């Protein structure tokens, strides 16, 4: 009797998921929106006239939570894997993901099994026989590779093969990606989502208070001589010593400390898999440490003139913030020009302030 009750409960959950997602399947993937957040916020504020994207985020999170209830895998892990896949798809310029809200996808051979002669197989039993990953998560008795719920449920069950504790999930991620960078990024994303309990975390702000006295221009790609010839991988923002330096995005502190070139520096990884590099700081916000979660506008340090030498070296150049952006393509980080983004975030923040 206990076994029958368990089967009935599972069937009911699947039916509930399927009935609540008929509209979700028809929605195409869309880019992340902006939200408004105070300097030391713990959760984002609402954005006006952004109901469409908020609906997308709500429906996507609803799907994560339903599959979480069915499998036991925390929703924020599903969200982290999905977001990681979305960022990698962008950097590798892959073909558009299948229609729907979920970026997780599988190749035909991954889905049906390497030796399966039927690349369009949707039968769970034959897929399992050939070692495929495909499962039915929507309750329609078909393991459909183009179905959001089926893909999401299949990924969840793959990650849970070893167990549901943190170390087991890490092993599951490694077995799927075979890449320690991927495992680290997904765990970072999961930590951010778990902290704020929402997917609506893509707001940016300027890296200094708008009322501060600062100046900057495009300096990315210029030559540098100290320590050997190299190009300038960032934008220099000149300001007075001690001007606050702020996180530009929601993210996790990936590294903090001394760098011979950058002096006291801090690196923050955001949910778009972009690494924000802040260098030449005079000091760090008290209590801030590696692994901490930060929000847009949160002070992380202050403008200084440290670097170009051993720890503590300062004053070899005027005080300024060196700000760099690096995108992770799954194998390495590569630099891109932050200047247009700084201008955009500065303009957007000024517009938000005018609307208050």
* Total length of the chain: 356
* pTM, two decimal places: 0.82
Of 3, 298, 149, 104, which is closest to residue 278 (Cα–Cα)? 298
pLDDT at 43: 40
Contacts (Cβ under 8 Å, ≥6 apart) of 120: 108, 112
Q: How far is CA 62 from CA 69, 168, 225, in A?
A: 11, 25, 53
Tokens 């007075």 belong to 240
pLDDT at 30: 35
| φ, ψ dihedrals at 46, nearest 5° | -75, 155
Please report the DSSP string for 178-203 in residue order: --HHHHHHHHHHHHHHHHH-SS----
The pair of structure tokens assigned to 287 is 């209590």
CA-atom Rg of the chain in angstroms: 23
Q: What gap in Å lies between CA 134 and CA 119, rounded to an integer?
A: 12
pLDDT per residue of the chain (356 residues) written in tens, 0 to 9: 434 444 443 444 433 333 343 333 333 333 333 333 333 344 444 334 455 778 899 999 999 999 999 999 999 999 999 999 999 988 776 544 446 799 999 999 999 999 999 999 999 999 999 999 999 999 999 999 999 999 999 999 999 999 999 999 999 999 999 999 999 999 999 999 999 999 999 999 999 999 999 999 988 766 555 444 556 789 999 999 999 999 999 999 999 999 998 999 999 999 999 999 999 999 999 999 999 999 999 999 999 999 999 999 999 999 999 999 999 988 888 899 999 999 999 999 999 988 87
pLDDT at 249: 98
pLDDT at 231: 65
Tell me 272's DSSP state: T
Q: What gap in Å lies between CA 94 and CA 314, rounded to an integer?
A: 45
pLDDT at 6: 43
Please report the DSSP string for 4-19 in residue order: HHHHHHHHHHHHHHHH
| φ, ψ dihedrals at 111, nearest 5° | -75, -50
Contacts (Cβ under 8 Å, ≥6 apart) of 296: 37, 41, 203, 204, 205, 246, 247, 248, 249, 250
pLDDT at 355: 85
pLDDT at 100: 77
């Amino acid at each position: 009797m206990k076994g029958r009750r368990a089967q009935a409960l599972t069937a009911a959950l699947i039916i509930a998921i399927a009935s609540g997602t008929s509209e979700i399947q028809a929605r195409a993937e869309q880019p992340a929106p902006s939200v408004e957040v105070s300097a030391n916020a713990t959760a984002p504020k609402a954005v006006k006239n952004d109901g469409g994207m908020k609906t997308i985020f709500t429906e996507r999170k609803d799907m994560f939570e339903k599959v979480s209830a069915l499998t036991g895998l925390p929703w924020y892990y599903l969200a982290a894997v999905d977001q990681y896949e979305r960022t990698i798809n962008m950097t590798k310029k892959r073909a558009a993901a299948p229609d729907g809200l979920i970026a997780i996808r599988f190749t035909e051979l991954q889905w049906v099994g390497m030796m399966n002669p039927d690349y369009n197989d949707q039968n769970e039993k034959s897929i399992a026989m050939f070692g495929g990953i495909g499962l039915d998560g929507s309750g329609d008795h078909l393991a459909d590779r183009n179905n959001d719920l089926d893909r999401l449920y299949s990924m969840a069950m793959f990650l849970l093969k070893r167990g549901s504790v943190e170390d087991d999930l890490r092993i599951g991620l490694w077995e799927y990606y075979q890449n320690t960078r991927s495992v680290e990024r997904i765990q970072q994303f999961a930590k951010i989502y778990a902290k704020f309990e929402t997917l609506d975390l893509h707001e940016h702000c300027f890296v200094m208070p708008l009322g501060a006295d600062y100046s900057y221009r495009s300096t990315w790609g210029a030559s540098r001589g100290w320590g050997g010839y190299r190009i300038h991988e960032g934008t220099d923002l000149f300001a007075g010593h001690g001007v606050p330096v702020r996180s530009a995005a929601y993210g996790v502190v990936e590294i903090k400390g001394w760098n011979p070139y950058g002096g006291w520096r801090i690196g923050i990884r955001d949910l778009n898999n972009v690494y924000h590099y802040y260098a030449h700081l005079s000091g760090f916000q008290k209590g801030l440490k590696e692994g901490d979660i930060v929000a847009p506008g949160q002070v992380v340090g202050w403008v200084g003139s440290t670097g170009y030498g051993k720890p503590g070296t300062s004053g070899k150049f005027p005080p300024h913030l060196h700000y760099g952006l690096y995108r992770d393509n799954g194998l390495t980080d590569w630099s891109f020009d932050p200047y247009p983004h700084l201008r955009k975030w500065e303009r957007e923040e000024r517009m938000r302030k005018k609307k208050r």
